[in-house]
Every structure is written in C-alpha cells, then in structure tokens.
C-alpha cells in the first residue's frame, strides 16, 4: 500500500513538471510569433493608410484643377481645405478632414527668370501660373505620424500667350470619334502655335465606364503601351497618369493626329477628358462626350 501510494504521488509530480515545460515552450514560441504577427499587421496598416492618403492626394489635385477651370482667379495665394457642394469643388477653411486624414492645399506664385524658367526667386511673378501643393497628414497610431504631398503647376488654360509650353498647345476635338468597333478614340488633333518646341511628357485620361486603356499612339509613334512602352505597365483604369515616351511638337508645327487611344471595350456614351502635361510641368486639358 505504501509503495502504491508513492507511485501515484510521483505521477502527479511528473504531470506538473510536464505542464511547466509545455508552458515554457509555448511562452517562448509565442514570444517569437506575436512580434512577427504584430509587425505584419503594422506593415499592412501602413500600406492601407498610404493607399488611402494617395487617393485623397490625387482627389485634392483634381479638385484644385476643377476650381481653376471654374475661374483661374479662384486660385488666390493661401492655404485651404476643400469642400464639395452641389457637384462643385471649392476652397473651405484652412484644411479638411477625412477620417484620420487632414488635407491642406497651398496656392503660391510661380517666379520666372528672363528665360521663362521656373526659379525659387526671380524677376517676374507669372500671373497665369500657380504652384499647387496638396499635403496629407495622419497618425498611424499615437506618436507615429506620416505626411505625403504632391506639387503641380496649374496654368490659366484660356490664356494663349506666355512662357509655359502648354500656353501654345492646342487640342482640337472637333473631329473626335470612335472606330468601327468603338474601342479606339480617334480624330484628336494637336498643334503647337508657338515659336518654341513643345514636349508632351505625360498624358492622363479619365472616362466614365469600367474599360481599361491599353495603347496610345501619336502620329506614327506608339508613345505608351501596357506591355512594352512607357509606365505604368499593365492595362490601366480611368484617371491613371501615363508616363509616355516623350513626344515633341516643333515650333509652329503642322497639325499632328493623336492617332488613337485603344481600350479593352466600347467607349460609346462616355465622358472623355484628356490632360496633357508638358516637360515644364504646365498642363492643358480638354473634355468631350463620346456618342457614336
């Protein structure tokens, strides 16, 4: 009886030791896994926040372009927030807030030297250009903040004289149309009416359906194609800025045909907007409704 009692007691002691060892192993394993999990979670959260910030940044730039299009005189120097009422963007207050994100828009003069180059400080304030800076700030978590910003030069698109390349760039949409299968936008004419060459650096297009753009051709040159020319790669949705192979229009150029924008499907009954950004950062755009 005594022997049997001691055996039972030893089993209990062994069980407790096993539990202690298992607990120790679990603690060591979790000590390695938890920081790894938290690190992945933190990285994903940062990526998500950065994507949201980039979207609000681009929205801010487009909003300021809209304000400029209503009247260039709306671009008064200062720092603003943005609001949208009855379908129109306007400056409002000194910032605007969307969730955890705070956005500011700064409007400032552009200075040019005698060669019309943009400089930090120069002889002349360009009355038909403004420097737009959109900034987003937010906190990932208390004490850990982030900031992103973007800069764009906006010109008075109705002013056809001046230093900017875009001021002498003409977009003629009078002959715009669609190909027989409605997948190519054709008939856009471009021209340089100024005494100096103009170089198109980037093109952004927006449209009101879910098709993707896959190729842009100016004259006989493919300046962007989703799998081998320009960036970004891949077929792109509405609103993507295409970094094309630079295309230069000579001084007082003849009409150049923008041969086509090629899409994955029909572009019939869409509102189509084209933004051309020149090498000097100036922008000109035009909009049309496509109805075959």
Task: Tell me: do 188 and 255 sit in the same domain.
Answer: yes
Query: Using alpha carbons only, how large is the chain's radius of gyration in Å?
Result: 29
Residue 1 domain flag: no
Query: What is the per-residue pLDDT for 103?
Result: 96
| Strands (DSSP E) found in the chain | 78-85, 88-92, 96-98, 101-112, 118-119, 124-141, 144-155, 169-172, 177-178, 184-186, 188-192, 198-206, 213-218, 221-225, 241-249, 256-258, 260-263, 270-278, 283-290
Task: Tell me: do 128 and 237 sit in the same domain.
Answer: no
Tell me how far apart the alpha carbons of residues 234 and 246 are, in angstroms, rounded to a whole number: 19
Residue 24 domain flag: no
Q: How far, CA to CA in Å, does 82 sit from each of 42, 73, 76, 96, 242? A: 30, 17, 14, 6, 26
Query: What is the per-residue pLDDT for 2?
Result: 47
Task: Tell me: do 189 and 147 sit in the same domain.
Answer: no
Query: What is the per-residue pLDDT for 6?
Result: 46
Whether the ω angle into residue 232 lies within 30 degrees of 0, i.e. cis, is: yes
Query: What is the per-residue pLDDT for 205?
Result: 93
Phi, psi of 199 (to 5 degrees): -115, 120
Q: Give me the CATH number covering residue 261.
A: 2.60.40
Burial level of 248, CB count in 10 A (0-12/13-18/19+)?
exposed
Residue 285 domain flag: yes
End-of-domain residue from the set 92, 126, 155: 155
Task: Tell me: do 185 and 149 sit in the same domain.
Answer: no
Residue 40 domain flag: no
Q: DSSP 3-state assignment of 93?
A: coil
Task: Tell me: do 82 and 119 sit in the same domain.
Answer: yes
End-of-domain residue from the set 112, 137, 155: 155
Residue 108 domain flag: yes
Task: Tell me: do 114 and 176 sit in the same domain.
Answer: no
Residue 15 domain flag: no
Task: Tell me: do 208 and 125 sit in the same domain.
Answer: no
Query: What is the per-residue pLDDT for 1?
Result: 47
Residue 14 domain flag: no
Residue numbers of the domain that contains 219: 165-290
pTM of the shown model: 0.50
Residue 232 domain flag: yes
As for how many domains the chain has, the answer is 2
Task: Tell me: do 267 and 175 sit in the same domain.
Answer: yes
Task: Tell me: do 88 and 182 sit in the same domain.
Answer: no
Q: What is the pLDDT of residues 250-283, one digit of tens each?
A: 988 999 999 999 999 999 999 999 999 998 888 8
Residue numbers of the chain with a pLDDT score lower than 50: 1-3, 5-6, 37-38, 41, 160
Considering Cα of 71, then 76, then 79, then 80, what sign does the dihedral take? negative
Name the residue among 191, 227, 202 with its Cα closest to residue 212: 227
End-of-domain residue from the set 104, 134, 155: 155
């Amino acid at each position: 009886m005594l022997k049997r009692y001691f055996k039972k007691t030893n089993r209990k002691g062994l069980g407790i030791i096993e539990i202690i060892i298992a607990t120790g192993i679990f603690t060591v394993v979790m000590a390695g896994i938890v920081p790894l999990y938290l690190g992945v979670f933190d990285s994903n959260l940062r990526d998500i926040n950065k994507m949201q910030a980039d979207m609000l940044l681009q929205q801010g730039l487009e909003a300021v372009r809209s304000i400029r299009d209503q009247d260039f005189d709306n671009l008064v120097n200062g720092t603003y927030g943005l609001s949208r009422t009855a379908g129109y963007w306007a400056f409002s207050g000194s910032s605007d807030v969307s969730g955890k994100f705070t956005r500011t828009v700064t409007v400032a003069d552009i200075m040019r030297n005698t060669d019309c180059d943009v400089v930090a400080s120069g002889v002349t304030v360009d009355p038909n250009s403004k420097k737009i800076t959109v900034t987003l700030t937010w906190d990932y978590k208390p004490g850990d903040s982030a900031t992103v910003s973007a800069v764009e030069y906006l010109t008075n698109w109705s002013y056809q004289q001046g230093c900017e390349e875009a001021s002498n760039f003409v977009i003629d949409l009078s002959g715009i149309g669609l190909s027989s299968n409605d997948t190519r936008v054709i008939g856009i004419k471009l021209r340089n009416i100024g005494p100096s060459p103009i170089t198109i650096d980037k093109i952004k297009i927006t449209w009101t359906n879910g098709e993707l753009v896959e190729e842009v051709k100016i004259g006989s040159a493919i300046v962007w194609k989703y799998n081998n020319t320009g960036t970004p790669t891949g077929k792109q949705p509405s609103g993507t800025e295409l970094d094309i192979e630079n295309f230069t229009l000579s001084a007082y150029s003849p009409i150049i045909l923008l041969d086509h924008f090629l899409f994955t499907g029909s572009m019939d009954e869409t509102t189509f907007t084209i933004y051309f950004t020149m090498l000097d950062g100036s922008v000109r755009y035009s909009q049309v409704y496509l109805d075959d």
